[in-house]
Amino acid sequence: MTEINLTTIVNAPIEKVFDINRNIDIHLLSTSQSNEKVIAGRTSGLIELGETVTWKAKHFGFWLTHKSLISEMDFPIYFVDEMLEGQFKSFRHEHSFEVLDGKTVVTDKIQYETPFGIFGKIFDKMILKNYLTEFIRNRNAILKGLTEKQQQ
């Protein structure tokens, strides 16, 4: 199992940061580099506990789909999306939010397993983990910018 941990500090109220992180429309803006689209489930607005969304995006030159379930949610401090269908053996993304010195600290904890045995493990170590880390880091920078811009 591979784990990625990222922290982003956003100068905005926790409720606003929480909602921007679960907003389907804003997710699409923040993942435009992979031409991400929604093809099933919740297609816009705020995704809620128990809802699913299926994404289609281009990664590594291939169109891939990923169906996620919001399996846990505690507004405005925590939610989890877990893969139901997709290219990973397993995929879990925990989103945590806390207030520190008047700012919101966002912590992303991503745990996943690759398929294809040793070949999947080699691909993960050589390419995938870095790719996913940068993908989420870039997404978070866009979310941070949008959120803080709304505060002005």
Domain boundaries of the chain, sorted by first residue = 2-151
What is the homologous superfamily of the domain 2-151 according to CATH?
START domain (3.30.530.20)
User: HEC string of 16-52?
Assistant: HHHHHHCEHHHHHHHCHHHCCEEEEECCCCECCCCCE
pLDDT band at 101; cut points 50, 70, 90: very high
Q: What is the pLDDT of residues 36-67, one digit of tens each?
A: 999 999 999 999 999 999 999 999 999 999 99
Q: How confident is the model at residue 149 (pLDDT cuts 50, 70, 90)?
A: confident
Q: Give pTM, 2 decimals.
A: 0.94
